[in-house]
Chains A and B, each alone.
Chain A
Amino acid sequence: MTETKRISYREAISEALWEEMERDENVFIMGEEVGVWGGTYAVTRGFYDHFGEKRVRDTPIAEMVIVGAATGAAMNGLRPVAEIMTINFAFLALDAMINSAGVAHYMFGGQFSVPMVVRTTTGGGRQLGATHSRSPEPVFAHFPGLTVIAPSTPADAKGLLKAAIRSNDPVLFVEHSTLYQNRDEVPVGDYVLPIGKSDVKREGSDVTIVAYSKMVEYSLAAADILSKEGISAEVIDLRTLRPLDLDPVYESFKKTNRGVVVEEATPYYNVSGEVAARVQDVCFDWMDAPVKRVNALDVPLPYSRELEQMALPNPEKIVEAVKEIV
């Protein structure tokens, strides 16, 4: 049996980073407040004192050069883990991610590789207003050349971050800001998960609920509510948005014949639309109902608490969507 211990999502990420830095001298961290401050979400607390300023590098508040310089360092043999404080700031680095890091391998005929991880946080629900609360993972997952990972559990976070750091391609690693406190069993030591594998988080037979990141937690809560009413929901965690592994989803859908996709991003041009489109394409003969989608409402997130909560998905909305088709 693998030895495990009960730690938080934050601790699991921190542990993965620490172990990879101990393992490989070429792994280093750069970003805003990652060093002396210890990380604005405290993920890198203690790193600066242990690894020193060469490997834990505080940067100016300048996202374009954070990702661009990490790209150059990766091309030249290092394994940078660049931190962008929130995914909302990653828009400033979008060009560096997609037009530099994301195409460096392809555009020069395979000569260069970019083994870089960009860690960032996503998600709303903390009254941070329109500019700091978005969940725009699908924007980044749109582009071939990037890998986009968004774990929902502490164990997945550890195993996938280690895999991301060892990957030879640019990875956007998306952590949910309201999952950091969640605690669960996490394998001790060198635990590495394959990138691009969805995971069945709960088995069921009546409906397939597909989600990622924070929405997995809500989907599992919804499945609990549904089970009390005699509805058996299977919950699948995508874990990786690019490459997107839908085989377990198709397999599940062919069993349940009904599906709901849950995503925190706004409802149009996104992951839920992508999954729904592919499910109807592959599983048309197994469909007993249209695939439903649960997303944030199509609005910028407001500050006021009640209004913000109205706009976001929650377990009740998922239950409601399931009941429309079961």
Chain B
Amino acid sequence: MALTDEQKLEAYKTMMVIRRFEEKCAELYAAGDIGGFLHLYIGQEAIALATKYALRDDDNVITAYRDHGLAIARGLPVKNLMAEMLGKATGTSKGKGGSMHLADKEKRFWGGWAIVGGHLPLAAGLALADTYRGEDRVTLALMGDGATNIGYFHESLNMAAVWKLPVVWLVENNQYGMGTAVIRASAVSDIAKKAEAYGMPCCVQVDGMDLQALVDYLEEAAIYAREGKGSFFVEALTYRYRGHSMGDPERYRPVHEVEEKKLDDPISHLGSHLIEANLATTDDLQKISDEADQEIAEAVEFAKNSPFPEPGELYTDIYADSMGEVSR
């Protein structure tokens, strides 16, 4: 599906919001307003947007801890996401999840999960439930390249293949699992070979900086899964400009590598295309950037003005059923 002009402009705006959100998070982390771990998505934005256009709104999406971009692309309110970053009661997980655990059940965004690979069997289960009820949803499971080395990956792909579950497995290969390059951690540097072992069709090393290409491949994968043929595997080659998380000394890659990769920027690519196709002027793009800044500033204000969770929240939602006093 070729993206419409409106979709291209919308995608550009959303990618800009993601980037500004992430830059602001880095600032707030340095200022001590955000704690814990913080994994930024800068450089990978096109992938989040591609999932939006390749999937239906009622499809399932689940991912790992580098989840801000996907949450925004999925339509979670930016102000509530920022509130979650700050641990506020108005956050998407009431301030009890944090950066790595964003979710919105209504939007079928099943989380941000922080044990590498731990969410992959959950994706199989989400898909199983839909199939069980005869619903034709697709489940999209995103993961980093590092997750393809863990047992969860292999058990989940195997079960999904045996049971022909409608899952699109999408690897965001940003070249490093924390600080260890793919070639130093994976027996095969061509990650898709692992999925081929489970007999599923694969798209190998799709350009993760090219929104339209990503949409095309993911759409093919989603159609395959929705038609009941089983799982499909897509590997997108991408790059994160920031460290693995905020405390990353970045001794594993040379500065010039990062600078070179920044020239292959997904937002710049789309911006150039918008100008060449006469869909926007340089001024228009500047305006979009300014509006993104404004939206993030308002989100920060909302988050800062929101209350922290009440102490009683410590004990709420441990169990869905009330167990009374005996649970203490």
Contact = CB atoms under 8 A, between A and B. Distances in A.
A141 to B, nearest CB: 12
Interface string B294-328: 00000000000000000000001111110110111
Nearest to B321: A168
Given A28-B132, A167-B321, A67 B96 contact: no
Interface string A85-123: 000000000011001100011111111111100000000
B121 A96 contact: yes
B30 to A, nearest CB: 26
Interface stretch (B11-19, B97-105, B169-177, B223-231): B97-105
B2 interface: no
Contacts of B96: 106-109
A73 B122 CA distance: 7
Interface in B47-102: 60, 62, 91-97, 101
A65 B178 CA distance: 24
Contacts of A113: 320
17 contacts: A64-B155, A65-B158, A69-B125, A69-B159, A71-B121, A72-B62, A72-B127, A73-B125, A105-B320, A108-B105, A108-B111, A109-B94, A109-B97, A112-B111, A196-B326, A197-B326, A243-B327
Contacts of A114: 320
A245 interface: yes
B122 A110 contact: no
B119 A107 contact: no
A150 B310 CA distance: 35
Interface string B150-192: 0110011011001100000000000000000000000000000
A72 B105 CA distance: 13
A110 B317 contact: yes
Contact of B126 (A67, A76, A96): A76
A99 B113 CA distance: 9
A77 interface: yes
A174 B276 CA distance: 65
Most-contacted residue by chain A among B94, B163, B319 (CB, 10 A): B319
A321 B124 CA distance: 50
Contact of B93 (A54, A64, A95, A108): A108
A145 B326 contact: no
Contact of A109 (B93, B122, B128): B93
B159 A62 contact: yes
A245 B158 contact: no
A59 B110 contact: no
A169 interface: yes
Interface in A251-278: none
